[in-house]
Amino acid sequence: MSILGKLAEKSWLTPSAAGDGVDMNTGPEPAAKTALALFIAVLTSIFFLFAVGYRMRMHQPDWEAISDPGLLWINSVALVLASVCMHFARKSALSGDIRGVRYALTLAGALSIAFLVGQFAAWGILRESGLYAVQSPATAFFMLLTGIHALHLFGGLVVWARAAARAWQGIEVKRIRLSVELCTTYWHFLLLVWYVFFTLLLLT
Amino acid sequence: MFVAIVVVLLVIGSLIFHFASPWWFTPIASNWNMIDTTVDITFWVTGIVFVLLNLFLAWCVLNFRHKKGRKAHYEPENKKLEIWLTGITTVGVVAMLAPGLIVWGDVVTVPDDAMEVEAVGQQWHWTFRYPGNDGDFGDVDPRLISVANPFGMDPDDPAGADDVLVYSPEMHLPIDRPVKVLLRSKDVLHNFAVPQFRTKMDLVPGMVTYQWFIPTVEGSYEIMCEELCGMAHHTMRGEVVVEQQADFEDWLGSYPTYAEVLARAEPDAEAGKMSYMACAACHGQNGEGNPALNAPKLTGLDSWYLKRQLQHYKSGVRGSDPADALGMQMRGMAMTLVNEAAIDNVVAYIGTLPDVPVVATIEGNVDRGRDLYQTCVNCHGAQGQGIWAMNAPRAAGMSDWYTANQLRNFRDGLRGANPDDRYGRQMAQMAQMLNEEAEINDLVAYMNTLGQTQLADANAGRRFE
Amino acid sequence: MAYVAIADRDHEHELHDPHTFITKYVWSQDHKVIAIQYSLTAIFVGVIALLLSGMMRLQLAFPDSFSFIAPQDYYQFVTIHGMIMVIYLLTALFLGGFGNYLIPLMCGSRDMVFPFMNMLSYWVYLLSVIILLTSFFVPGGPTGAGWTLYPPQAVMQGTPGSSWGIILMLVSLGVFIVAFTMGGLNYVTTVLQARCKGMTLMRMPLSVWGIFIATILGLLAFPALLVSAIMMTLDATIGTSFFMPAVLEAGMQNDHEGGSPILFQHLFWFFGHPEVYIVALPAFGLVSDILACHARKNIFGYRQMVWAIVAIGGLSFIVWAHHMYVSGMDPYFGFFFATTTLIIAVPTAIKVYNWVLTLYEGDIHLRVPMLFCIGFIFTFIHGGLTGLFLGNVVVDLPLSDTYFVVGHFHMVMGVSPVLVVFAAIYHWYPKITGKMYNETMGKWHFWFTFLGAYSIYLPMHYLGILGVPRRYFSYGPTEFIPESAQAMNVGITYSALFVAAAQILFFVNMFMSLRGKKSDPNPWGATTLEWRTPQHPPKHGNWGPSLPTVYRWAYDYSVPGAAKDFISQDEPAAPGAEGFDPEHPNG
């Protein structure tokens, strides 16, 4: 039943057999997945609003565009590869391959850490070329956008660390499957966010 | 069922209150009658809804309250009724929105022939600028603002030469001419609002906003700041005087243009020395003051402040109240300074005198004084050194008995009550919180403990008043 | 596959099963305990805000009579009063308090889907409250920039608390948003995933709908506040210029350049407007259920009520700049926002009509909860109508920043929803405590509060029409403000102090009745599920060995042919309802 259909239900036409057209879900997985979807909606709101702020600030007369460090391209590749690894981790988890999960998960985490290190290095590059957030609004926004994204990736790594540890401890695959699925979704989301932010930074 | 009666009474009471209350719009003094009309339409539409809905509510409560054997009627929904109600509500909404948007269209369309005036807001004062004969405002830059250039005028822009600089909270406007008021802020958000004109608009630092209206009634109207701009927001007042064109031009002519300000001769401290002979008898050879003669210390005071007080004494803004005997005495003395140049000269001379520390005469609870001083610190500075940008003179390190007297005078209306004493009026509001003698003593005692750092340009003076 | 509820499943996370006092009542993961923790904290901090408002009113009535209320203090009171009331009291109480208590019970669940995170959300909320209150003890005191915290003044000298106070405020808000997100994920996911068998979305009571949509609003709107808080914190601490243009600070040039104060306002109000609906929508939902129960009549037009809640929620995201008509933003925006704002009036009006139509041909029991509902309708009609003035851009011009605005938002945020809070607490008191409150005391409480509150805020509107500005410490000799306005201020202050004092009746009633007589499990004859728990008050796990099954919507009151004047949601086809045709209920 579509959402509109559900909202148009004439629920006083009772009593009807309980469960008619009932849209119940079964299992804790849907709850966690729903919660992640909602959380991603919240984050979308946050990232969207930062982007809006960026665009509005750009129109002030003191704006001077900066050139983004080339390092960002390398970092992006690392993040794409991390998502690919997550994808494989998920595949392995769904097909019961714990070894596949271990290796893919670990590699994904390593690449993500590399991304974070690279982002931090990019900050350093800007500082060395004399661009400070305090004086240059473009630099301030660069650091803000990359910083917020990195912060959320770091948060994801906290969850990843728990999942990876359990994978190496010899846990049953099906008990880790949900975690891996959620991490994968989250990683893909952050990759998408990075894609949008990076494009935004490049175009301006 | 009592509640149903109360609801009816409240409806009747609210209506009575509405029609009988003495608080309604101020008499309109601008062209924006259409705003008032739209408000009236809105009152009628909402008023009818208010009465009908609430009477229906009361009737329902009365008629359908629980009685033995009563049973409610089961009706899950009535689509037809809902559609009707939606339709009627939409009609009501459109009836209010349509005239509102039409009038708003007028508000956002500034007439081509509108004269432009600039209102400059800052914490917590208004100043104004008129474009002069060329009709063009000269460029300004906040980075150029200084004690000698409070408007931040760019000396390299020729359009600014004939700009008339009104360093006063009072602006004048000619009657029946559309005027576009450009709004500029030096520091924080403010709002320029005159209730009788109906329009208002925020001042936003970093940009120029505006509002336009046609003043249609002669008179003087208060400008209220209506965007919380700090702890003295409620004292940030100005005045708009609407008058005939000829009077307006006279008034405008009494203020200098930027070019005239730049061209002013340096004051002559030597000439001032001659004038100062008359003052020395009370205030001392070195301007150190003499408590026995009720003459306060003058040295170390900001010259723009000295100048303004002398002007106030001369014009009677200060020292006219018979209860202010000492002020009246000063009035007589100030009259001996025949013109503005004389005032400038004597002030310049006082600026050359050495600033010697005074003996404190007042004792009080310094800790309580520190708390009280928190109300003063934003204008007068953490050291009581005075801040030119806030129009606040040095307050610490001066004759403490005099400071105490002036606080008393401000509080009691002996100073600052004259409608032309706009800066004094602000002080009068601030002084109201000093209810007890002990508080004045505590405050002054605390100020006696402050180091008296002088700002380097405290004596540079402003040369556009 | 047979349906098996979440809590009954064999999975790695067992439902929490506390045994010690600490795990039952302090570090509790039980939604009912968390709800009470939220509510008590919110009410406590709300009383602080009430005291602050008392001081503000004392200053306004008797200007400059109190040395402990200097101008900077006054503006600090104004700010903290507003922020506490809107966010730390109303939002926390409606969502963290009522949401936590009612959602699992009304949906037939054992608890929220993430009980541990739910518990965490309360403690993080408490932390945010503590951080806020700490700002009273730092140098400079709390921020005095108004609850709207506009830059550049909020971080500049001249505004109280511009050094430490504002930072603590922004940090506190950030922490609150974290708490809110944790709670919000719980409420929404529980409603979507954990309803018991037979509980379709359209069989949920409106209380759940109101809180549900409000939570979604919050999840999407609070980020705007977070974004603006982060950017303002950076401006204030490391000196960036997101919102700070080149300005003079006490006569000295500052180092900022190019920032836009209006950008902050857009971000703030993009949050701020949905925020008022986050407060209002739960109130709308709760009042619908209480009204229906005590009028023994189904809420009129349930589907329209749900659609209206959803519509109001959606529209609330495109009206924000009606708070910015005089901000200096592009004036052409005024056309758009005035239109959307007045459009949102339509679904809101439908809800008001439906509340009154619920009473029409009802069987109205004028008990305390019903009295408060009637008070809500009356005051909300007034407050909603004055909103039409302010939403219409050109009418807002003379009224903006005057006491008309103060009267309006207090009526719609402070009076109406608070009357609903009281209605709800009285209505569910027997459920939560197992005891019955004192009816007489409750009635006195109602009359004092309702009449007192109306007499505070009605006159304020007229002072605003006159042009009396808001956020003024004192008026001094102002020509267009007559003496009578000052006299009115004194009257308003006396009413305010009286209403504040009258709340003692409420607290005394609540506490004394805890040791009073027990109540029936369903004293009002309500249809909703929370009244059907096997224990009264409900114990941990809510439903005993097996979850309920729902057969009908939440409003089967006075069904023709039924034995009683209500049928609980979990009652299967009633044997006494032969001949009852739901398509034609009245024959």
Which of B22, B75, B86 is opposite residue C346, by nearest beta carbon? Answer: B86
Q: Cα distance from B453 to chain C (closest Cα, Å)? A: 15
Which of B17, B64, B188 is opposite residue C359, by nearest beta carbon? Answer: B64
In chain A, which residues have their Cβ closer than 8 Å to the Cβ of C550?
Answer: 18
Q: C282 in contact with B at a CB cutoff of 8 Å?
A: no
Question: Which letter, b or e, does each residue of A129-157 get, where b requires 16 or more Cβ atoms within 10 Å of its Cβ?
Answer: eebebebbbbbbbbbbbbbbbbebbeebb
Contact B202 C328 (CB under 8 A): yes
pLDDT at site A1 = 60
Q: C581 in contact with A at a CB cutoff of 8 Å?
A: no
Q: Cα distance from B73 to chain A (closest Cα, Å)? A: 14
Q: Tens digit of pLDDT for each residue in B132-176?
A: 888 899 999 999 998 889 999 999 999 999 999 999 999 999 999
Amino acid found at C511: F
Q: Chain A residue closest to B76 (CA)?
A: A12
In chain B, which residues have their Cβ closer than 8 Å to the Cβ of C146?
Answer: 228
Contact C552 A15 (CB under 8 A): yes
Closest CA to B52 of B86, B97, B7: B7
pLDDT at site B20 = 95
Which of B3, B26, B226 is opposite residue C371, by nearest beta carbon? Answer: B3
Helix, strand counts (H, E) of chain A: 6, 0
Q: Is B414 helix (H, G, I), strand (E, B) or coil?
A: coil
Q: Tens digit of pLDDT for each residue in B24-56?
A: 999 999 999 999 999 999 999 999 999 999 999
> Sign of the CA dihedral C470, C472, C475, C479?
negative
Q: A56 in contact with C at a CB cutoff of 8 Å?
A: yes
Contact B66 C476 (CB under 8 A): no
Which of B74, B96, B97 is opposite residue C560, by nearest beta carbon? Answer: B74
Contact C352 B53 (CB under 8 A): yes
The encoded tokens of residue C400 equal: 């903006």
The rounded distance, in Å, linking the Cα atoms of B406 and B431 is 10
Q: C296 in contact with B at a CB cutoff of 8 Å?
A: yes
The rounded distance, in Å, linking the Cα atoms of B128 and B166 is 5
Contact B76 A60 (CB under 8 A): no
Contact A7 C306 (CB under 8 A): yes
pLDDT at site C584 = 58
Q: Is B282 helix (H, G, I), strand (E, B) or coil?
A: helix
Q: Tens digit of pLDDT for each residue in C128-179?
A: 999 999 999 999 999 999 999 999 999 999 999 999 999 999 999 999 999 9
Closest CA to C387 of C334, C330, C322, C317: C322
Same domain, B97 and B144: no
Residue B395 covered by a domain = yes
Residue B7 covered by a domain = yes
Which of C189, C223, C310 is opposite residue A31, by nearest beta carbon? Answer: C189
Q: Find the angle CA(B44)-CA(B46)-CA(B52) to the nearest 5 degrees.
A: 100
The rounded distance, in Å, linking the Cα atoms of C281 and C311 is 11
Residue with tokens 């054992």: C110
Q: C237 in contact with B at a CB cutoff of 8 Å?
A: no
Q: How many CB pairs under 8 A join A and B?
A: 3
In chain B, which residues have their Cβ closer than 8 Å to the Cβ of C351?
Answer: none
Residue B171 covered by a domain = yes
The rounded distance, in Å, linking the Cα atoms of C65 and C57 is 12
The encoded tokens of residue B209 equal: 């906003």
Q: State the best of B80, B104, B207 to mutate against chain C, taking most chain C CBs within 10 Å.
A: B104
- Where does residue A176 rank: exposed (0-12), middle (13-18), buried (19+ CB within 10 A)? buried
pLDDT at site C180 = 97
Share of chain A above pLDDT 70, in %: 92
Residue A139: in which H helix or E strand, if any? helix A137-168
CATH of A33-60+69-203, one of 1.10.40.60, 1.20.120.80, 2.60.40.420, 1.10.10.60: 1.20.120.80
Please state whether beta strands B179-185 and B115-122 pair in parallel, antiparallel, or not at all (unpaired).
parallel
Q: Tens digit of pLDDT for each residue in A47-75?
A: 999 999 999 888 888 888 888 888 999 99
The encoded tokens of residue B245 equal: 């064109």
Amino acid found at C422: F
pLDDT at site C361 = 95
Residue B464 covered by a domain = no
Q: C230 in contact with A at a CB cutoff of 8 Å?
A: yes
> Cis peptide before C151, with omega less than 30 degrees from 0?
no
Give backbone dihedrals phi and psi of C277, rounded to 5 degrees, phi first.
Answer: -80, -25
The rounded distance, in Å, linking the Cα atoms of C532 and C548 is 9
- Interhelix angle C31-61/C71-83, nearest 10 degrees: 150
Compute CA distances B335 → B312, B313, C416, whole Å: 11, 8, 64
In chain C, which residues have their Cβ closer than 8 Å to the Cβ of B103?
Answer: 394
Amino acid found at C221: A
Same domain, B145 and B253: yes
Q: Identify whether the C-beta of residue C107 lies closer than 8 Å to the C-beta of residue C530.
A: no
Contact A61 C189 (CB under 8 A): no
Q: State the best of B23, B220, B442, B443 to mutate against chain C, taking most chain C CBs within 10 Å.
A: B23
The rounded distance, in Å, linking the Cα atoms of C492 and C407 is 11
Contact C549 A18 (CB under 8 A): yes
Please state whether beta strands C252-253 and C248-249 pair in parallel, antiparallel, or not at all (unpaired).
antiparallel
> Sign of the CA dihedral B9, B11, B13, B15?
negative
Interface of C with B in 162-221 (CB under 8 A): none
Residue B257 covered by a domain = yes
The rounded distance, in Å, linking the Cα atoms of C553 and C427 is 20
Same domain, B168 and B291: no
Q: Is A140 helix (H, G, I), strand (E, B) or coil?
A: helix
Same domain, B286 and B419: yes
Residue B94: in which H helix or E strand, if any? helix B79-107
Contact A10 B76 (CB under 8 A): yes
In chain B, which residues have their Cβ closer than 8 Å to the Cβ of A63?
Answer: none
Round to the nearest angstrom and report the end-to-end CA distance of chain B: 70
Closest CA to B295 of B330, B321, B347: B330
Helix, strand counts (H, E) of chain B: 14, 10
Q: Chain B residue closest to A14 (CA)?
A: B76
Q: Chain C residue closest to A5 (CA)?
A: C202
Contact C551 A14 (CB under 8 A): yes
Q: B206 in contact with A at a CB cutoff of 8 Å?
A: yes
Q: State the best of C4, C182, C199, C202 to mutate against chain A, taking most chain A CBs within 10 Å.
A: C202
Residue B207 covered by a domain = yes
The encoded tokens of residue A87 equal: 């994808």
Amino acid found at C301: G
Residue C48: in which H helix or E strand, if any? helix C31-61
Q: Identify whether the C-beta of residue B115 lies closer than 8 Å to the C-beta of residue B178.
A: yes
Contact A28 C234 (CB under 8 A): no
DSSP H helical ranges for C392-473 = 393-399, 403-409, 416-433, 439-466
The rounded distance, in Å, linking the Cα atoms of A61 and B376 is 36
The encoded tokens of residue B435 equal: 């209810």
Q: C482 in contact with B at a CB cutoff of 8 Å?
A: yes
B partners (3+ CB pairs within 8 A) are A, C
Q: State the best of A12, A14, A56 to mutate against chain B, taking most chain B CBs within 10 Å.
A: A12
Q: C558 in contact with A at a CB cutoff of 8 Å?
A: no
Residue C168: in which H helix or E strand, if any? helix C165-193
Q: Identify whether the C-beta of residue C554 lies closer than 8 Å to the C-beta of residue C567.
A: no
Q: Tens digit of pLDDT for each residue in C53-106?
A: 999 999 999 997 887 899 999 999 999 999 999 999 999 999 999 999 999 999
Q: Which domain holds residue B19?
A: 2-65+79-107
Q: How many CA atoms lie within 13 A of C278 on its CB side?
A: 27
Same domain, B288 and B174: no
Share of chain B above pLDDT 70, in %: 97
Q: Cα distance from B410 to chain C (closest Cα, Å)? A: 12
Q: What is the CATH number of the domain that holds B204?
A: 2.60.40.420
Q: What is the mean pLDDT of residues B59-69?
A: 94
Which of B189, B234, B432 is opposite residue C472, by nearest beta carbon? Answer: B234
The rounded distance, in Å, linking the Cα atoms of C272 and C275 is 5
pLDDT at site A160 = 94
Number of structural domains found in chain B? 3
Sequential DSSP letters for C298-309 = PPTTHHHHHHHH
Contact B66 C366 (CB under 8 A): yes
Same domain, B129 and B83: no
The encoded tokens of residue B174 equal: 């000619």
The rounded distance, in Å, linking the Cα atoms of C231 and C225 is 10
Q: What is the mean pLDDT of residues B7-31?
A: 96
Q: Domains, chain C, ranges and CATH?
A: 32-244+257-577 (1.20.210.10)
pLDDT tier at B359 (50, 70, 90 boundaries)? confident
Most confident of B335-344, B429-438, C361-370: C361-370
Mention every residue, 6+ apart, whose C-beta is less than 8 A from residue C507.
none
Mention every residue, 6+ apart, whose C-beta is less than 8 A from residue C461.
C386, C403, C404, C407, C408
Closest CA to C465 of C485, C493, C494, C491: C485
In chain C, which residues have their Cβ closer than 8 Å to the Cβ of A7?
Answer: 201-202, 303, 306-307, 310
pLDDT at site C100 = 97
- State pTM to two decimals: 0.94
Same domain, B103 and B30: yes
Q: Identify whether the C-beta of residue B38 lies closer than 8 Å to the C-beta of residue B103.
A: yes
Residue B36 covered by a domain = yes
Cα dihedral B346→B347→B352→B358 (10° resolution): 110
Compute CA distances C130 → B33, C41, C172, C499, whole Å: 51, 10, 8, 27
The rounded distance, in Å, linking the Cα atoms of B204 and C334 is 18
- Residue B267 is given by DSSP the state P
Q: A170 in contact with C at a CB cutoff of 8 Å?
A: no
Q: Chain B residue closest to C301 (CA)?
A: B77
Same domain, B134 and B211: yes
Please state whether beta strands B164-166 and B125-130 pair in parallel, antiparallel, or not at all (unpaired).
antiparallel
Q: Is the ipTM of this complex over 0.95?
A: no
Contact B206 A60 (CB under 8 A): yes
Same domain, B397 and B445: yes
Cα of B11 vs its chain's centroid, Å: 39
Q: Tens digit of pLDDT for each residue in C500-530?
A: 999 999 999 999 999 999 999 999 999 999 9
Q: How many CB atoms lie within 10 A of CB B27?
A: 10
Domain spans of chain A, in order of start: 33-60+69-203
Q: Chain B residue closest to A60 (CA)?
A: B206
Q: C239 in contact with A at a CB cutoff of 8 Å?
A: yes
The rounded distance, in Å, linking the Cα atoms of A16 and C384 is 39
The rounded distance, in Å, linking the Cα atoms of B111 and C97 is 55
- Residue C159 is given by DSSP the state S
pLDDT at site B462 = 42
Which of C245, C338, C558 is opposite residue B205, by nearest beta carbon? Answer: C245
Contact A9 C260 (CB under 8 A): no
Closest CA to C176 of C42, C285, C323: C42
Blockwise average pLDDT, block size 10, chain C, 587 residues: 42 61 86 97 97 96 87 96 98 98 96 95 98 96 96 94 95 97 96 92 96 98 97 93 90 86 97 98 98 97 96 97 96 96 96 97 96 98 97 96 98 98 98 96 98 97 97 93 95 97 97 94 96 93 92 93 91 59 55
Which of A6, A45, A50 is opposite residue C200, by nearest beta carbon? Answer: A6
Q: What is the mean pLDDT of residues B177-186?
A: 96
Q: Tens digit of pLDDT for each residue in C12-46?
A: 345 667 778 887 888 899 999 999 999 999 999 99
Same domain, B226 and B327: no
Mention every residue, 6+ apart, whose C-beta is less than 8 A from residue A169.
none
Residue B74 covered by a domain = no
pLDDT at site A4 = 82
